[in-house]
Structure 1
Amino acid sequence: MKQAKRNRHTLLEIFFTALRLGLTSFGGPIAHLGYFRDEYVQKRKWLDDRTYADLVALCQFLPGPASSQVGIGIGAMRGGLLGGFFAWLGFTMPSVIALILFAYFLKGTSYDLDGLIHALKIVAVAVVAQALVGMGKNLANTNSKAGLAVLAAAAVLLMPSAIAQLGVILIAAMIGYFLYRESSNDYNHEHSEPNVKRGRGWVWLVLFSGVLAILPFLRSQFFGIEIAMMDTFYRVGSLVFGGGHVVLPMLEREVVPSHWVSSSEFFAGYGAAQAVPGPLFTFAAYLGTMTAGISGGIIAVIAIFLPSFLLVYGALPYWNSFRNNVKFSAALTGVNAAVVGLLLAAFYDPLWTSTIKAPLDFVLSAIAFTALVIWKLPPWMIVAAAVIGGIITSFIS
């Protein structure tokens, strides 16, 4: 009885700690990791800096949203599998609710909101440009990496499809394996062992692969929108390396050609996602709600985050072995350079081509970019200004 009560107390502590972070963590995944370290390492001392650094490194190597995966890992170390779930729920729920409500607002309003949608798309141009600059400095900072990024962008622009994107990632991994295996950093030093049983890791990894394989088959046999959404969002959550803004091109290629949302609705939601705290992957809640109501929003969120749970639970026990593998690190270096190219392609088409149609559009986007990069204003403040301006424009036009 005492043990059960202690477990409940631990899970509630994990949930409410993560909920506070989910309500206040603006600024994207890098900022989230700073908030996490301050809360979990420095204040609560749930883990030490060495363990935290190892966990962050693991999640950088996995596809999916890195900050959410770090939160899941900390919750799992603190409270087991349920601890990982409650850590994710607290951190993710506020932005999910906000984006579902925003989708209903767009769908239910009787006013012409073209001005609002366009304002949010202009902010999205600035935000993606900021992400490109930051990621380029970190992931495409040599001649060969920059060249790989440009080739990846060219490939997906000339062959616009989700299959082409996957092919680019696989080819980039092979190129990285051959180009960077001799120049990889030395990872051979002492690591703290994660508090996860090694014997269970393979079960989660098999489940991850099995779901990824079976959903396309189910989609071909059953034509309901729910199965199609599960397949789409699970595949995106499984195959997007780099997290955050890198989800943009793959999602756009999946949901806009399928006519689930229009291009304008897609980028309006992406702009709104900048205004809420928590992980950018909750953009799926907006897309799912626009497609199939609140149940669609819930399905999309579960599907896009489920790979993160399976990968974190499966990879934690084996992380030290992976981290010391220079060849694996080299392949991932190539993938990281390629995802910069994927984001560059999405920045041009359809974001730039559908948004910057007049000199005023460019001026406003340049101001937003300057506010983000030079003045260091938080994204939510810029989005809030755009929303106010867009609503005013909608009413007076």
Structure 2
Amino acid sequence: MGQRRHREQGRHPDARAEAGAVDASTPRGSAIEVFLAFLKLGLISFGGPVAHLGYFRTEFVQRRAWLDDKSYSDLVALCQFLPGPASSQVGIALGLGRAGWPGGLCAWAGFTLPSAIALVLFGLGVSRWDALAQSGAVHGLKVAAVAIVAQAVWGMGRTLCPDRLRAGIAIVAALLVLAVPSAMGQVGAIVAGAIAGRCAVHAGRVPSTEDRDRGVRKSMGAALLLLLALLLVVLPVLAAATRSPALAVIASFYQSGALVFGGGHVVLPLLQASVVPGGLVTNDAFLAGYGAAQAVPGPLFTFAAYLGTVMNGALGGWEGGLALLVAIFVPGFLVVAGALPFWESLRRRDGIRRAMAGINAAVVGVLAAALYDPVWTSAIHSRADFGVALGAFGLLVVGRRSPVLVVALSATAGWLLAR
């Protein structure tokens, strides 16, 4: 016993640091600490998921030293692989590792609430003053959405469709969505992309790394993944059985959160198909909110809070915003917590990586179809509109300006053109 204690005490400091880094996910902080850290980031994290990941690395790897760079990169790889909002899922995983389940919830709440509150307030304004939704400034927000979605298609296409095969998968997915303009067409395009990728795409090898304990047991992970799948089946069945419009919308938003690969922009067509055709949200209000969502910090999935706020029918107001905000984020929470203990073995499977490559290519096509309808068709009505959209796209892609600045300039241009 004494000899073992002596060996432990005599271990080199670097070896102790390395061991601590591997086990950095062991809960050793408080939920309040996690909430305050993520609340600060939720107030300042502009720029989208990639920028969010940079903020997280600066705060939690460099400044607070909650984990090392390799552990952080492994978490990022996992969350890019999974469906759902990648940056929010990285935050949830960091909170779980720091303070257990309360830490995961506090990380989500701190990062999400600032933008959700801002969008709920904007939604209340749109609902109360009808003229606001028809104003020139709001039309400018819709034009800004054209440029922002076009930038997303451009950037994702270059990254996720690097060869002819994957570019072809994206084109076929776009054609399928345009031919079947519903949530069924979008889900079908993603499934077809997975099958095509599994059968035809060649994926590179994943280097071998040591397994890490992320603070979630495999039995708990399996239970969470089972709950995720059960809710995907049970919620639509309950909505159909009870004929409840509110439950049907909640089921639809849950499905959107569970099936979205490729970031927040890809959720746009799924949500549009869920709320606009049935008249729950007008297309003008939908696109105005999407433009406004670009001007707030935090995850783009908080757009769901705005939609719930402006929705007609059973849901509506801040209560509906809160309900749909939870509905769209729950799948991402379940899938990242459930996948953590299985990630190291899953990521090495060749078939899984090929299917994911096909899915990623398909979501580019889904987003490209959404760029045309509803984004372009609802926002571009004149040469002036096209000029504003083209200028905004140039600022984003060539000038590399902040989306916040581009949204503000587009809203101003829309207001001036309407005078």
Class of the TM-score when normalised by the shorter of the 2 chains = over 0.9
**Among candidates 75, 80, 83, match of residue 95 of structure 2:** 75
What residue is the counterpart of 2:125 in the other structure?
Answer: 105
Shift of 1:199: 2.2
Q: Kindly indicate whether residue 227 of structure 2 is the aligned counterpart of residue 203 of structure 1.
A: no
d(CA) in 1 for partners of 2:71 and 2:130? 52
Shift of 1:258: 1.6
d(CA) in 2 for partners of 1:187 and 1:95? 37
Whether contact under 8 Å (1:55, 1:73) holds in the other structure is yes
d(CA) in 2 for partners of 1:154 and 1:191? 41
Shift of 1:101: 0.3
What residue is the counterpart of 1:127 in the other structure?
Answer: 148
> What amino acid is aligned across from residue 90 of structure 1 in structure 2?
G
**Among candidates 388, 391, 401, match of residue 364 of structure 1:** 388
What residue is the counterpart of 1:246 in the other structure?
Answer: 266
Residues 81-96 of structure 1 mapped to structure 2, 5 A cutoff = 81-96=101-116
Whether contact under 8 Å (2:190, 2:359) holds in the other structure is yes
What residue is the counterpart of 1:4 in the other structure?
Answer: none
The gaps in structure 1 that reach 5 residues or longer are 1-6
**Among candidates 309, 330, 335, match of residue 354 of structure 2:** 330
Whether contact under 8 Å (1:201, 1:315) holds in the other structure is yes
d(CA) in 2 for partners of 1:66 and 1:262? 28
**Among candidates 137, 141, 158, match of residue 179 of structure 2:** 158
d(CA) in 1 for partners of 2:282 and 2:135? 13
The alignment partner of 2:243 has SS state of coil
d(CA) in 2 for partners of 1:392 and 1:225? 40
What residue is the counterpart of 1:57 in the other structure?
Answer: 77
Whether contact under 8 Å (2:146, 2:389) holds in the other structure is yes
RMSD: 1.6
Shift of 1:185: 2.8
**Among candidates 30, 35, 54, match of residue 55 of structure 2:** 35
Q: Kindly indicate whether residue 255 of structure 2 is the aligned counterpart of residue 235 of structure 1.
A: yes
Distance 1:360 1:389, change over 3 A: closer
The alignment partner of 1:64 has SS state of coil
Residues 133-282 of structure 1 mapped to structure 2, 5 A cutoff = 133-180=154-201, 182-282=202-302
Whether contact under 8 Å (1:285, 1:298) holds in the other structure is yes
Shift of 1:263: 1.0
TM-score (norm 2): 0.89
d(CA) in 1 for partners of 2:343 and 2:181? 35
TM-score (norm 1): 0.94
Structure 1 residues 321-330 or 85-94, which shifts more? 321-330
- Deviations along 1:90-126, whole A, 9 cap, x unmatched? 0000000000000111111264533122111110000
d(CA) in 2 for partners of 1:346 and 1:227? 25
What residue is the counterpart of 1:3 in the other structure?
Answer: none
d(CA) in 1 for partners of 2:182 and 2:412? 35
Shift of 1:221: 2.1
Q: Kindly indicate whether residue 338 of structure 2 is the aligned counterpart of residue 314 of structure 1.
A: yes
- Deviations along 1:10-63, whole A, 9 cap, x unmatched? 111100000000000000001101110110111111111111111111111111
Shift of 1:370: 1.0
Shift of 1:372: 1.1
> What amino acid is aligned across from residue 145 of structure 1 in structure 2?
R
Whether contact under 8 Å (1:116, 1:393) holds in the other structure is no
Residue identity over aligned pairs, in percent, reads 49
The alignment partner of 2:66 has SS state of coil
> What amino acid is aligned across from residue 181 of structure 2 in structure 1?
P
Whether contact under 8 Å (1:75, 1:84) holds in the other structure is yes
Whether contact under 8 Å (1:125, 1:351) holds in the other structure is yes
Q: Kindly indicate whether residue 398 of structure 2 is the aligned counterpart of residue 374 of structure 1.
A: yes
d(CA) in 1 for partners of 2:146 and 2:86? 23
Distance 1:390 1:319, change over 3 A: same
Whether contact under 8 Å (1:50, 1:191) holds in the other structure is no
Whether contact under 8 Å (1:226, 1:299) holds in the other structure is no
Larger Rg: 2
d(CA) in 1 for partners of 2:44 and 2:376? 30
> What amino acid is aligned across from residue 116 of structure 2 in structure 1?
V
d(CA) in 1 for partners of 2:103 and 2:206? 33
> What amino acid is aligned across from residue 15 of structure 1 in structure 2?
F
Residues 273-292 of structure 1 mapped to structure 2, 5 A cutoff = 273-291=293-311, 292=316
> What amino acid is aligned across from residue 319 of structure 2 in structure 1?
S
Whether contact under 8 Å (1:187, 1:323) holds in the other structure is no
The gaps in structure 2 that reach 5 residues or longer are 1-26
What residue is the counterpart of 2:328 in the other structure?
Answer: 304
**Among candidates 366, 373, 382, match of residue 349 of structure 1:** 373
d(CA) in 2 for partners of 1:255 and 1:102? 18
What residue is the counterpart of 1:22 in the other structure?
Answer: 42
> What amino acid is aligned across from residue 155 of structure 1 in structure 2?
L
The alignment partner of 2:30 has SS state of helix
d(CA) in 2 for partners of 1:386 and 1:191? 48
Shift of 1:143: 0.7
d(CA) in 2 for partners of 1:387 and 1:329? 41
Shift of 1:393: 5.6
